[in-house]
Structure 1
Amino acid sequence: RPWNLLDDALLSDADAAGGLTPALADRMRRLIAYAVEGGAQGVLLTCSLYGPVATDADAGVPVLAADAAVFASALGGGHREVLVLATFAAALDDTVDRLRASARAARSPTRIVGQVIAPGAVPDPGAADAVLLAQYSLAPHADALAEALGLPVHAGPHAAARALRTAVRNATDGLTEGSIPCSE
């Protein structure tokens, strides 16, 4: 049963501090611990800034970073060029930088390009043979965009939900197919 915890000041506090500080990372770890103490079988962080906390969390349950699954999906899809879309430059720059770093780490030959678009606009994909949505808020438009462009569209929440479901199933003994509802 999915449930959500929100500390809506984590992003603004990180912005004011100039990035992720040890104190803010500790604050995120406390939220993760709170979720686990409340019965969570897995935790998905939905802010990319806090992704490094996911990789060092020792929570006893799977803890996933916001974009790890969508990056793996986009880079593992055999695409020559992935177009990253965002509605504002900071989100675009951050996602393109992190996706390029993931591509280098995976030794993927995939070319990464980016484009800022107005909400609701249909972009020109150029030579791209796939699209990655930089913001979770764009995910509801993934299917319509895929249809309009005739290209696969990788959306963070969809990939993350599938990855979390798999991680929880792998970490939990005795579960049967379909016993962990996880909305995408």
Structure 2
Amino acid sequence: MTTIAVVHTGPVSVQPIKEQISELIPDARVINIVDDSLLNDVRAAGHLTPEVASRIHSYMSNAQAMRVDIILNACSSVGEAVDSVRNLISTPIVKIDEAMAEEACSIGSHIGVIATVPTTLEPTVRLVKKKAGEMRRAVEVTERIAEGAFEALLSGDGARHDEIVKSAISTLAAQVGVIVLAQVSMARLVPQLEGVRVPVLSSPRSGVAALKRSLDNLPKVSVPNQNR
């Protein structure tokens, strides 16, 4: 059985990713590693810290010790820590937002990136620009924070969160050719955005689709014939 470890920095990403894995990789066993202090520490510092990066490495090393087939990083705020971890462990690691960034760069040259916390916005913008460079695409990025949305979500007011984010998306859509939702927690809004004039991309589906492609490309382990 395929085993996937998913490293989360809070509980809000667990269910959306679980639903996508259930749909796209239904036979997989999923191990969720959740530490909600990671995002809190990043937000308090205003950026990814060496201490948080060290803990990400520790969690992914533990996942490797559990002999999982692949690891999914579920949080864009700590995504840059994964770049160094990939050099330290042999288990393949997929970042939830890489496929989304690549898709955005393939769609348009003016990309809007929207987030509810600054510590996710900035690394997502850097990721989009990095992918554009790799694809040799010239892009312009417009950044937007949906002020107050994340606090509303933490307080349990999901409706207020959605209202703030949808308003920010509507305003940004008038300025760009494609919009990237920087956080997994925002993905649930996509079905409500059919009237938006530009494509709006979220990471759970494209990220899990990339996870499935990576699994499909892993070397197959042959099972010895016991009858020989």
Fold in common (TM above 0.5): yes
Residue 143 of structure 1, aligned match among 187, 191, 204: 191
Cα distance, 1:141 vs. partner?
A: 1.2
Q: Give matches, 1:27-106, under 5 Å.
A: 27-56=55-84, 57=86, 58-77=88-107, 79-89=108-118, 91-106=120-135
Report the structure number with the largest CA radius of gyration: 2
Paired AA for residue 62 in structure 1 = P
Cα distance, 1:100 vs. partner?
A: 3.1
CA-based RMSD of the aligned residues comes to 2.7
Residue 182 of structure 2, aligned match among 115, 119, 134: 134
2:64 and 2:89 in contact (8 A); partners too: yes
Gap change, CA 1:38 and 1:120, over 3 Å in 2: same
1:52 and 1:65 in contact (8 A); partners too: no
* Stretches of structure 2 lacking an aligned partner (at least 5 in a row): 1-28, 147-163, 223-228
Higher helix fraction: Structure 1 or Structure 2? 2
Q: Which secondary structure does the structure 2 equivalent of 1:131 belong to? A: strand
Gap change, CA 1:15 and 1:134, over 3 Å in 2: closer
Aligned to 1:152: 199
Q: Which secondary structure does the structure 1 equivalent of 2:111 belong to? A: strand
2:76 and 2:120 in contact (8 A); partners too: no
TM-score, length-scaled by structure 2: 0.64
Gap change, CA 1:24 and 1:143, over 3 Å in 2: same
Give the number of aligned pairs.
173
Separation in 2, partners of 1:93, 1:25: 16
Query: Once the two structures are superposed, what CA deviation does each residue of 1:67-125 show, in whole Å capped at 9, x if it has no partner?
Result: 22211111123x13222222355544443344234434543123222334413435131
Gap change, CA 1:167 and 1:120, over 3 Å in 2: same
Aligned to 1:115: 144
> Greater shift after overlay, 161-170 or 17-26?
17-26
Q: Determine whether 1:10 maps to 2:38.
A: yes
Gap change, CA 1:61 and 1:9, over 3 Å in 2: same
2:77 and 2:120 in contact (8 A); partners too: no
* Stretches of structure 1 lacking an aligned partner (at least 5 in a row): 176-184
Gap change, CA 1:74 and 1:12, over 3 Å in 2: same
TM-score, length-scaled by structure 1: 0.77
1:81 and 1:113 in contact (8 A); partners too: yes
Separation in 1, partners of 2:166, 2:134: 33
Paired AA for residue 84 in structure 1 = V
Query: Once the two structures are superposed, what CA deviation does each residue of 1:4-56 show, in whole Å capped at 9, x if it has no partner?
Result: 11111122334455643444322211101222222421111122232233223
Q: Which secondary structure does the structure 1 equivalent of 2:141 belong to? A: strand
